[in-house]
Amino acid sequence: MRQYASVLECVINISEGRDAAVLAALADDASAALLDVHTDPGHNRSVFTLAGVDVEAAARALTATAVARLDLGRHHGVHPRIGVVDVIPFVPLAGSSLDDAVAARDRFAAWAAAELALPCFLYGPGRALPEVRRRAFVDLSPDVGPATPHPTAGASAVGARPVLVAYNLWLEPADVAVARSIAAELRSPDVRALGLTVGDGVQVSLNLVNPERFGPAAAFDAVASRSAIARAELVGLLPASVLAGIPEARWHQLDVEPSRTIEARLEQAGLNGGSGGGAAGGSWNAGDS
């Protein structure tokens, strides 16, 4: 597989998972950098994974369309959110650094504030996303942009972070009290977790913040020791190095495979040391919680 230089990823979480026409328009806006799209009607949330030399322009185009077409006041879904363009993390891949991601974060937030009048809360080194969710407009003011929410778009959390793996484990029986108890037990510096009712099901929704140390197999086993699991669901993409640490015999059980690695999608999109391209996939939800 090729090596990639100076590639940033951007994993945009949009508070819309039901309007196919809007989602198609957003994907079209981001097509120059689009690696993957994940949509969930129950969460009413979609995740657009972007990467490459066009990533910042694609993120801006997608965000502008979402702010123009979506209204947070009409949004209903189970996932926590502060805005229609809820979370915009920039992620360093091979050849780039967290400093590069921070710079992209700051450029994006300045643009969103100036061009869209969108309040932006910054997260990354020194501040975690859950802190933004708890404190936004309570005792934490936006870092950039208006001091009050946009009338239809709310606000955005714009971040810089390392790669994480978003992962959902559906429980059987569907007992949300059990899911919430498990989520509370699993939370750690390596794991963010929520217990949620989604439609007729219940899930433990996980962000595996350090997937090299605590990845999908460890998460599955930790939850399985506390409840029967109906199914596992990888949300978006995972690093090839994380997949390499999972025995192939467990790939189906854990809902992972080589075609769903970041590296495979970069290869599919024709991205290398600075060339750009686009490729879309489809599936589910979440990204950053």
Catalytic positions are 79
Q: Which residues partner with 91 through β-bridges? A: 9
Q: How many CB atoms lie within 10 A of CB 275?
A: 11
Nearest Cα residue to 35 out of 24, 49, 22, 21:
49
Token pair, residue 2, equals: 């090729």
Cβ–Cβ < 8 Å for 32, 58: yes
> In this structure, which amino acid lies at residue 77?
G
The closest alpha carbon to 283, from 26, 44, 47, belongs to 47
Inter-residue long-range contacts of 217-225, CB under 8 Å, 24+ positions, other chains counted: 217/245, 217/246, 217/247, 217/250, 217/254, 219/167, 219/169, 219/186, 219/191, 220/169, 220/253, 220/254, 222/186, 223/169, 223/171, 223/182, 223/186
